[in-house]
Structures are given as structure tokens and as C-alpha cells.
Structure 1
Amino acid sequence: MNNSTVNLTTPEASYSFELADSRKICVFSISFLLGLPTHSYVIWLIITGTGSRVASEFFFFNLSVCEIGNSLNSMFGLLSYLFSSFTILTHFLQGLGITGRPLFQCLMCFECYLAVVHPVTFLKYKPLRYRVMCCTAAWIITLGSCLFCIFTLLSFNIEPYIWFFSTAFLFFLSIQLFCLVTVLRALKQSGPGERKRERGEENHMKRRAFYLILITTINLIIQYMPFTITGFFVILAQKDIFVFWFPAFLCYVLAGFVQPVLYLQRAGKLFCLCSS
């Protein structure tokens, strides 16, 4: 998310800068070339599905739209190496990754929490209009995040920017982990006494849902914890060097493909996993 601040007056520093740029270009390319078609396909599946699918996957639909914005931001990041005018646009779109992605993931986690832990409340707020209201508020917050990012980055005031996304990631991750861990505990509990066959089918579904939630939980930790730890470390150490950011940046980009892959697997569109 940040450029290296190494001194370019020595050959070693120049080499480090070129190496950092090559790594950023590689990660940007992966994010754009894989992210754009993957999330576009997910959106197409949701739109062309039944009306009930559109309603039930509305949060995921908005998340995929946000991820397309992140993929385009990677493309603009590549173009900014050739045309500096794209830098302003990349600064603005930073808010999609800092607030948009985790916020829609929070909505999905909270929806799962209600469905498992408070099913009566979930049924009460199941109509699409409530999801539309939540997503509208989320997009407004994301827009505010985009404006804050462009203001801080254009003013070269990098410390508030690092404080902002480190705190935001920690806050959103805390909400996500609370919801998912509570769901995992609920799924581990045995249900009421039923016939053996029905209980076996229910246990199979609960086991499948448990592993799906567990994978999602681990994936969210991999996405946000490295950036959060690195951000606070950079603030305390007062050293903003790209080599600190690259592992966190790589984890953030690669872990972002897990949820669309899981969706495609559930939809039966991921042939390499459908056989399992």
C-alpha cells in the first residue's frame, strides 16, 4: 500500500527500489489478471441465478463489486508507473480495500451469525430491503474512506494513513472473529434428539458448514493480521520500508481469492473441486 522510502543515492538502495517495484508489479498483475475475471464471473452467476439467490447472496454481490474495484486499482497501479496522472485515482480507490472489503465481509459474517445463533431474528430481517439498507450505508462509509485516503496520501501525511488502515483492519477483524467463532461454537453443539438417519444428515451438513466457517476464519486472519501488525510496527519503529509491507501485501491479495473460490465450489462451477 505504501511506496518504499529508501534513499536512492547509493547503488544498493537503487537495487532495493527496483526489486521492490518488480515485486509490486508482480502482485498488482496477479490481483488484476485473476481478480477481475473471477469476481466478474461470480457477479454474472448471482445475477443470472434465481431471485432467491440474488437476495441471499446480495452481500457477496456487493463484495464482488468492491473486489472488481480493487482489481481495477491494481491495473491503475501498474499504469501509474507509466502515467503519473493515475496516482490520484489509485489513492482514491485505496478506500475500497481498507474499508469496502472488510465491511462487506463483516455484513456476511454477521448474517451468518444471525442465521445460526439467532434464527428468529434472522428470519425477521431476511427480506432484501434490509440488505439493501445495510449495503447502502456500507458504500457511504466506503466513499468516506476513499476521500480520507486521497486526502492523507496527497498531503504526504503517511502516519495518519497507516493509523487509519491498521485500526480499521483490527476493528473489522474483531467483529468478524466474534461472529465466526460464535458460529463455530454453535455448530459444535449437538442438536436435539432426532431419528438416527436425520441426525446423521444434519451432522454431515453441520460438519460441512463448520469446516467452511473455519476456512473463512483462518482466511480472514491471514488477510488482515499481517497488515495490522506491520502497520503498528512501522508506526512504533518510524521506518516505512517496502520489505516490511510486501509479505502483508501478498497475503492480502492472495487470501482475497479464497472466498470467490469457495463460492464457485458451492455453485458447482469449480470443476477441480467439484469431484471432492
Structure 2
Amino acid sequence: MNNSTVNFTTPEISTNSTTQSIGVLDCLEICVYSINLFFSLPTHSYIIWLIITGTESGVASEFFILNLSFGEIGICLNSLVFILSMWISSLKILDAFLLGLIFTGRPLFQCLICVERYLAVVHPVTFLKFKPLRYRVICCTAAWIIILGSCLCCMYTIVPHNTVHMWFFSLQFLHFFFIQLFCLVAVLRALKQSGPGERRRERKVENGIKKRTFDLILITTVTMVISYVPYSIAGVFFHCHRKA
């Protein structure tokens, strides 16, 4: 996960050995972020180009993915800012600000994609009602406002009040996780049920759509757990260690 390593240490508890080895750690971080920058930036730029140059219905149907790719471009920019902040200390504020894209932007748009797929399978009438592009634009506008608030929260809390940010990040992760888990279980139940009077071919096609939706939500949920759980545990562990 790009630049999602949060420094849970404080200047008061830093040791000389840590100070001596920080150069090696910085070089390792620079290598990781550089690899992410060089691979993620062209990949998501290509995704954006494919969606924009497609048909109008393509832009509408993949609007959440389009916004997710824009968020990933911002995360790539965060990698570049982090690398430059090694030599330009004034960029550390911008680096902390862009962390909001990692902590909130990525999981929020992933969650919106999962909810959209859930509505398409479990509540198709509601999905068709809110299918027009204007409803997706409203949702994404609200999402970007939330992301902006998260960026400001990171900028003002991640350095001076690390504990506050840790609890905020953990609660936010649990919120997104339970929403996606609910969508996953609901789609799984719909996958096991068959409507009355369905033909075998129609049932097979519908089950194929449900299966792809289930796989997408499952992969997204597992990816989010693998990406964010270690940092939530590390933050809680550090908080308990400080209180002890």
C-alpha cells in the first residue's frame, strides 16, 4: 500500500540506534515508494484514459472506478512528495495532507463500488432508479468532501496527536469493513437463491453475474483487510505500549 506507513514513534522515545539506522530505513522506503510510483501511475492513467475515451454509458457505469483511479493518482503523487520531503522538510505537511487519500479515499471508493454491485444484484429496481450518472456524481461529490476532511485531519493530527489519528483511522476502517462484509453476505445469499419459474439458461446467466459480483466484493474486502489491519493493530499496540 502506497505510503501508508504511519510513524507511531515519538521524538521523546527515539533512541540513538534508531537515529543511526534511519538512513537505511529511508532508503528502503524510497525504493518501495519509487516502485509504486512507476508502476501505479501509468496503470491508473491508462484506466482513466480507457474510461474517458469509452462510450457515455461506459463513463456512467464505471464512474466510481474512475474516481478511484483519480484517487490512486493522488496517492502516487503522495509517494513523490514523500521522497522529496527527505530533502525538502517543508513538504512534510503536504505529505501528511495527502495521506488522507490512503486512509479514506481508497477504501471509501472501494466501498462505494461494492455497494453499487450489491444494489445491482440484491435490489435491482433501486439500482435502476439510481443508475443515471447524476446520482453517481452526487455520491462522488460527497465522497470527495469526506476525503478532504480526512486529509485535513491527517495534516493536523497525524504528527502532534498520533493517538487521536490512530483511533480515527481504526474506527473508519471498521466502518468500511462491516459495510463491505454486509454486501458480501447479502450477495452470497442471493447467489444461493433462485427465482421461481426461471429457465435454466436465464438462471445460469444470472448466477454468473452474481458470482462475478461476489468475487469482486470478496477480493476488495480481503485486499482492504490485508492492507489496513496491520496498521490498525500497530497503532493500538503502540498506544497500549505508551500507556504501560
TM-score by length of 1: 0.78
Query: Residue 137 in 1 paired to residue 138 in 2?
Result: no
Query: Residue 39 in 1 paired to residue 39 in 2?
Result: no
Q: Which runs of 5+ in 2 are unaligned?
A: none
Partners of 2:112 and 2:221 in 1: how far apart?
A: 14
Partners of 2:71 and 2:201 in 1: how far apart?
A: 42
8 A contact 2:111–2:179 mirrored in 1: yes
Map 1:188-207 onto structure 2 (within 5 A). Answer: 188-207=192-211
8 A contact 1:167–1:228 mirrored in 2: no
Q: Which residue of 1 aligns with 2:88?
A: 83
Q: How far does the alpha carbon of each residue in 1:100-143 deviate from its partner, in whole angstroms, 9 at most, with x for none?
A: 11111121111111111111111111111111111111111111
Partners of 1:213 and 1:191 in 2: how far apart?
A: 22
Q: Which residue of 2 aligns with 1:179?
A: 183
Q: How far does the alpha carbon of each residue in 1:231-268 deviate from its partner, in whole angstroms, 9 at most, with x for none?
A: 222222229xxxxxxxxxxxxxxxxxxxxxxxxxxxxx
Secondary structure (helix, strand or coil) at the match of 2:158 reads helix
Q: Which residue of 2 aligns with 1:211?
A: 215
Q: Which residue of 2 aligns with 1:117?
A: 122
Distance 1:29 1:173, change over 3 A: same
Q: Which residue of 1 aligns with 2:239?
A: 235
Of the three residues 33, 50, 53, the one matched with 2:55 is 50
Partners of 1:33 and 1:22 in 2: how far apart?
A: 16
Q: Which residue of 2 aligns with 1:170?
A: 174
Of the three residues 14, 35, 50, the one matched with 1:7 is 14
Partners of 2:157 and 2:113 in 1: how far apart?
A: 30
- What is the CA-CA distance between 1:201 and the residue it aligns to? 4.1
Q: Which runs of 5+ in 1 are unaligned?
A: 240-276
Distance 1:186 1:217, change over 3 A: farther
Secondary structure (helix, strand or coil) at the match of 2:165 reads helix
8 A contact 1:170–1:225 mirrored in 2: no
Query: Residue 147 in 1 paired to residue 152 in 2?
Result: yes
Q: How far does the alpha carbon of each residue in 1:134-167 deviate from its partner, in whole angstroms, 9 at most, with x for none?
A: 111111111111111111235x221112122122
Aligned sequence identity (%) = 60
Partners of 1:98 and 1:227 in 2: how far apart?
A: 10
AA of the residue aligned to 1:232: V
Secondary structure (helix, strand or coil) at the match of 1:82 reads coil
Partners of 2:204 and 2:176 in 1: how far apart?
A: 36
Secondary structure (helix, strand or coil) at the match of 1:126 reads coil
Partners of 2:226 and 2:51 in 1: how far apart?
A: 27
Partners of 1:184 and 1:15 in 2: how far apart?
A: 52
Tell me how large the CA RMSD over aligned residues is: 2.1
Partners of 1:171 and 1:208 in 2: how far apart?
A: 24
Q: Which residue of 2 aligns with 1:220?
A: 224
Partners of 1:115 and 1:76 in 2: how far apart?
A: 39
TM-score by length of 2: 0.87
8 A contact 1:96–1:142 mirrored in 2: yes
Partners of 2:213 and 2:117 in 1: how far apart?
A: 11
Secondary structure (helix, strand or coil) at the match of 2:131 reads coil
Distance 1:176 1:205, change over 3 A: closer
8 A contact 1:170–1:224 mirrored in 2: no
AA of the residue aligned to 1:9: N
8 A contact 2:166–2:232 mirrored in 1: no
AA of the residue aligned to 1:90: D
Q: How far does the alpha carbon of each residue in 1:171-212 deviate from its partner, in whole angstroms, 9 at most, with x for none?
A: 212212211222122223334443434444444444444333
